[in-house]
Structure 1
Amino acid sequence: MKFIKNRKFDIWSSITLIVFLFYIITLVFPLFTLLIKSAINGNSGKFSLEYFMKFFGKQYYYGAFFNSLKVTISVTLLCVIIATPLAYIMTSFKIKGKTAIQILILVSSMQPPFIGAYSWILLLGRNGVITNGLKQTFNITAPNIYGFTGILLVLTLQLVPLIYMYVSGALKSIDNSLLEAAESMNCTGIKKMAKITIPLILPTILAGSLLVFMRALADFGTPMLIGEGYKTVPVLIFNEFISEVGGDDGFAAAISVIVIIFATIVFLVQKYISNKKSFTMNSLHPVRAKKIKGIKNILAHIYVYLFVLLALLPQITVIYTSFLNTSGLIFTKGFSLNNYRSAFSRVGDAISNTFIIALISISIIVILAILIAYVTVRRRNAITNLLDIVTMFPYIVPGSILGIALLVCFNKKPIMLSGTIAILVIAFVIRRLPYTLRSSAAIVHQISISVEEAAISLGASNLKTFFKITLPMMLPGVISGAILSWITIISELSTSIILYTARTKTMTIAIYTEVIRGNYGVAASLGTMLSVITIISLLIFFKVSGQSDVTI
């Protein structure tokens, strides 16, 4: 391994510095600018903690923070409680239609949460289908779907699949001999799960919980649509930054800094606990799904099918609604393609913008992920270690805050990017790169260094070895991660809502604005298009990766 130990400044060092410079300009500098803006008085231009005192001085403001905390903690706990048994059942037992169910679970999580909010309003809102049906048929008043309850329902059903993917992957890495040893000592059923299985997968559960926590904390569309006065931090930040009456971007920056500090603390605590509880497992005898009979079999199937039905209900509602005839804001009898015609005629640019921006973003993501994954795994040093940390930091920065940071930083010369496609591309690349980077780095770890050493010993340069040997072996992992990045890009709202203009509107923005205006048919048709794109993307993922499910 001399060629690794005795490195000189070469092409890879140059690439590392260029990528690091890119992140300094597009992430570090904007966040630093946001920090400065939060500590400068808007009138005097002098250093001041006025904005922070304002936030903690009024219940209206810090109350939104506690509302967000209540939502995120509740959603995270519910997701763990629901997803862990779901993953255990799907991994340990033979469930009819298992492959199709796994795809449907993933599809249910790949839509923007605000579409779920809109769907549940159609179903259980004041004039919803289920609400009216219960009232007219049984004279039963449906539960109130608005406020905290609605946000909790929507986000839980949306985010359970994330923990499901994490836990499924962890369960497949458990050596079945450990479970068999426990059973030989009369440790079975729930006792075995509590004493053996849960402790083994606890670090994975914590990792999945962190992702759910951050996604719930950052979500803007759901509380905006279904919250009805239940204000959360993303909504508060948006109102303070965008509002033409009484808005204050300095105050929005201060709230953003508070959220980033809080998210960073949560992230560090999670990492500390995970590191203390982490260990290596070698699955020499992986868990194999077994057939069960009797009441256990019935209950397992009911649990899985019931969750899939509830999780898919919003998307089924959206697809059904998209084909209904509409008269103004009212759905009428009969079916047609009028909503799709209206969608293409009214928001056609949003559809083309989505594909243009997503294609540019994913191209940059693939290139950066390949380069960063290689240098952080193969050429470890102080700079690449720092680069690894910086590239994963957007994992904990809410999208709306990143959008504000970019807009504050690049809204004036010499770098004037506001209102352009470029600023959206930068935001999407920074936010969604970790998905592709994670899978790319994982596959580099699996490639033996001896393969590269052999090529170099035969006279190939480092760069030629990379392109001829390493890169072809990396591609399956890169493409798999890129598909997941692609899906999250086309469904992005929280960043887009801050950065878009009339010329750069995307499908998610179009759906959101149509819902706000009450044009549910057009919104439903656009939502259905997103669902179709998501399904096609997942099918490509399965074809490329050779897998029948997605685990993290």
Structure 2
Amino acid sequence: MTTIMTTPGAQTRRGRFFKLDMWTATSLGLLLLFGLFLLYPLFGVLKESVLDGEGGFTFANFAKFFANDYYFGTIRNSFMVSLAVTVVSLVIGVPFSYFYTFFKLRGAKFLFVGAVLSCMSAPFIGAYAWILLLGRNGIATRLLEAVLPFSIGSIYGFGGIVLVLSLKLFPLVSVYMNAAFRSVDISLLEAASLMGSTGLRRIWQVMIRLTVPTLLAASLLVFMRAFADFGTPMLIGEGYRTFTVEIYNQYLGEIGQNHNFAAAIGIVGVVVTAAVFLLQKFAANKFSFSLKAGSPVQKRRPRGIGGALVYLYMYALIGLALLPQLYIVYLSFRNNNQVVFLPGYSLDNYRQAMSRLLGRSVYNTIFFAVVALVIIIAVSVLLAYLVVRRSNAVNNFLDTVSMLPYIMPGAVIGIGLVIAFNSPPLALTGTMTVMIIMLVIRRMPYTIRSATATLMHLPMSMEEAARSLGASKLKAFWRITVPMMSAGVASGAVLSFVAIVTEMSAGIILYNNQTITLTMSAYVAITRGSYGLACAFSAILTVLTAVLLAVYLKFTKEEDVKM
């Protein structure tokens, strides 16, 4: 009989190889979830884009897109709009943040709340309100044309899209830059002054150059949000077509549907956004450095004519940014007959909304948001721990995959979920489940980035102390690490929650009457010409967003974001 001897070292290595601990199982579980609900749908979009109507392999959809300027122009238009919105947002957002950070302004908290509220509203409310204000028969249009000797032009087209999106997205620049400006050591500014660099020259040579990484991060966020926006170009684009609207027309259009071509347009959009993202990452790494203020900024009160101009700039800009939401709330109480608002006030629009799925829309909005947020928080906490505390190739891959929705247009995710789950064994299209999956995928990056950034700054020593006192890995994680992460997770979660309740670009592909939300109800009312009804839905959505913003401020207590 032959006896096979094994050394203790070999047994230990073999046991270690086959050992499946809690965190390895968690990594594999998250890998399975991301693979099923994110990568598999994206593969479905890619596959759909290279098929013809009979299921054969072809590149004809891409050839059609690039050969026909009617279609290729949509990507070009989206890129130009996004670039213009990014530039304008920087031009007006950086001074706003500079004045907010370096001056002791009366009503500073109102300015901050107004800025954040304006960028957290539903993506189409601003466009809709500006149509009512500056449209061909808008109230502001009539007033200005009665006073001015020239025509003020049209809100429709390229200029209107840039105006609406810039007023909506510039607060993203200011919120990011607030933290960057506060990190600048005041001694550097004093040294620059001693060397003769003062005024605007000092701001450019010192302040702007020191905050380049933050500027690049804010620019990327604004660009991505503008590039993926559906509601604004759909409502006021008219002849100026963007690719998000073209995807919708090709996938759900009343004139004709071409799902393969819509998928091809979506893939082109993903490639463009990925290229922009990689370019931003390259630039950010090139200018990467850390700032820590040894001498913090000392705010001063604005005085004289310059101070008056600062106040005028700040409050005028916030007034313009908030004007759409305030006007919508006002119009929600006006009498109207479809597209015409009549004299007098009543609650008829809200009564009409109650008979038009208001209850279901509110319930779905809150239910989807709560369930999606619970899942987002659980996944974000686990993934952040894996990336920071147990970094390896698999966990770093999960971290990268989790950020894909950050750079992807929502319509692509919506189409991918329809393709992936439109037939057995997982026929989820048209159900609440697929809506929740979509919301989790779309808005998870906010909380993941916030949780990861928070955990990176937490010491490992407390967790190790708990382990040395006999606590298990799970107990140490649950009782020590999670509570310490709670503030950062909460701030990211509220941002995710607000983004969830205003989601539109992916939801419009997936919703039906059973899964309709407030955002969808308002949009449907607009497209059907029921302006009073749309105002009622939008006003309720605005109030809900304001409440969520109050929760956000309660948890964060600071004017920055951890992204």
TM range (shorter): over 0.9
Equivalent of 2:513, from 502, 505, 508? Answer: 502
Which residue pairs with 2:548 in the alignment? 537
User: Using the alignment, how far apart are the partners of 1:297 and 1:524 within structure 2?
Assistant: 37
CA RMSD of aligned residues (A): 1.7
Which residue pairs with 2:424 in the alignment? 413
Equivalent of 2:534, from 515, 518, 523? Answer: 523
Q: Supply the AA of the counterpart residue of 2:188.
A: L
Which residue pairs with 2:226 in the alignment? 216
Question: After superposition, what is the alpha-carbon deviation per residue over 1:124-175, rounded to whole angstroms, capped at 9, x for unaligned?
Answer: 1111001112234556533211111111111111110111111111111112
Secondary structure, counterpart of 2:356 in structure 1 = helix
Stretch deviating more after TM superposition (214-223 or 288-297): 288-297
Equivalent of 1:105, from 115, 124, 131? Answer: 115
User: Using the alignment, how far apart are the partners of 1:500 and 1:540 within structure 2?
Assistant: 28
Q: Any conservation in 2 of the 1:146–1:227 contact (CA below 8 Å)?
A: yes
Which residue pairs with 1:72 in the alignment? 82
Q: Any conservation in 2 of the 1:99–1:549 contact (CA below 8 Å)?
A: no
Which residue pairs with 1:430 in the alignment? 441
Equivalent of 1:400, from 403, 411, 427? Answer: 411
User: Using the alignment, how far apart are the partners of 2:19 and 2:315 within structure 1?
Assistant: 58
Which residue pairs with 1:334 in the alignment? 344
Mapping of 1:426-465 within 5 angstroms? 426-465=437-476
Which residue pairs with 2:396 in the alignment? 385
Which residue pairs with 2:203 in the alignment? 193
User: Using the alignment, how far apart are the partners of 1:150 and 1:500 within structure 2?
Assistant: 28
* Deviation at residue 329 of structure 1 after TM alignment: 3.5
Stretch deviating more after TM superposition (214-223 or 126-135): 126-135
Equivalent of 1:38, from 23, 41, 49? Answer: 49
Q: Any conservation in 2 of the 1:38–1:51 contact (CA below 8 Å)?
A: yes
User: Using the alignment, how far apart are the partners of 2:133 and 2:262 within structure 1?
Assistant: 34
Q: Supply the AA of the counterpart residue of 1:436.
A: T
Which residue pairs with 2:217 in the alignment? 207
Stretch deviating more after TM superposition (284-293 or 408-417): 284-293
* Deviation at residue 520 of structure 1 after TM alignment: 1.2
Q: Supply the AA of the counterpart residue of 2:118.
A: S
* Deviation at residue 358 of structure 1 after TM alignment: 1.0
TM-score, length-scaled by structure 1: 0.96
Q: Any conservation in 2 of the 1:67–1:230 contact (CA below 8 Å)?
A: yes
TM-score, length-scaled by structure 2: 0.94
Number of corresponding residues: 547
Are 2:246 and 1:230 aligned?
no
CA distance change for structure 1 residues 138 and 38 in 2, over 3 Å: closer, same or farther?
A: closer
* Deviation at residue 66 of structure 1 after TM alignment: 1.1
User: Using the alignment, how far apart are the partners of 2:558 and 2:192 within structure 1?
Assistant: 30
User: Using the alignment, how far apart are the partners of 1:69 and 1:208 within structure 2?
Assistant: 17
Secondary structure, counterpart of 2:403 in structure 1 = helix
CA distance change for structure 1 residues 7 and 273 in 2, over 3 Å: closer, same or farther?
A: farther
* Deviation at residue 288 of structure 1 after TM alignment: 2.5
- For structure 2, list consecutive stretches of 5 or more residues without a partner in the other structure: 1-15
Q: Supply the AA of the counterpart residue of 1:508.
A: T
* Deviation at residue 42 of structure 1 after TM alignment: 2.1
* Deviation at residue 549 of structure 1 after TM alignment: 6.3
Secondary structure, counterpart of 1:332 in structure 2 = strand
- For structure 1, list consecutive stretches of 5 or more residues without a partner in the other structure: none
User: Using the alignment, how far apart are the partners of 2:17 and 2:307 within structure 1?
Assistant: 60
Question: After superposition, what is the alpha-carbon deviation per residue over 1:301-337, rounded to whole angstroms, capped at 9, x for unaligned?
Answer: 1111111011011111101101112234321112122
Which residue pairs with 1:159 in the alignment? 169
Q: Any conservation in 2 of the 1:165–1:551 contact (CA below 8 Å)?
A: no
Q: Supply the AA of the counterpart residue of 1:378.
A: R
Q: Any conservation in 1 of the 2:45–2:412 contact (CA below 8 Å)?
A: no
* Deviation at residue 6 of structure 1 after TM alignment: 12
Mapping of 1:237-248 within 5 angstroms? 237-248=247-258
Q: Supply the AA of the counterpart residue of 1:421.
A: M
Mapping of 1:25-424 within 5 angstroms? 25-43=36-54, 45-138=55-148, 140-348=150-358, 349-424=360-435
Q: Supply the AA of the counterpart residue of 1:317.
A: Y
* Deviation at residue 551 of structure 1 after TM alignment: 6.9
User: Using the alignment, how far apart are the partners of 1:189 and 1:147 within structure 2?
Assistant: 38
Q: Any conservation in 1 of the 2:353–2:537 contact (CA below 8 Å)?
A: yes
Q: Any conservation in 2 of the 1:104–1:312 contact (CA below 8 Å)?
A: yes
User: Using the alignment, how far apart are the partners of 2:466 and 2:546 within structure 1?
Assistant: 40
* Deviation at residue 272 of structure 1 after TM alignment: 0.6
* Deviation at residue 228 of structure 1 after TM alignment: 1.0
* Deviation at residue 8 of structure 1 after TM alignment: 6.2
Secondary structure, counterpart of 2:357 in structure 1 = helix
* Deviation at residue 12 of structure 1 after TM alignment: 1.2
Secondary structure, counterpart of 2:313 in structure 1 = helix
Q: Supply the AA of the counterpart residue of 1:481.
A: G
* Deviation at residue 177 of structure 1 after TM alignment: 1.6
Equivalent of 2:503, from 492, 495, 517? Answer: 492
Q: Any conservation in 1 of the 2:368–2:436 contact (CA below 8 Å)?
A: yes
* Deviation at residue 286 of structure 1 after TM alignment: 2.0
User: Using the alignment, how far apart are the partners of 1:291 and 1:132 within structure 2?
Assistant: 40
Q: Supply the AA of the counterpart residue of 1:246.
A: G
User: Using the alignment, how far apart are the partners of 1:167 and 1:7 within structure 2?
Assistant: 49
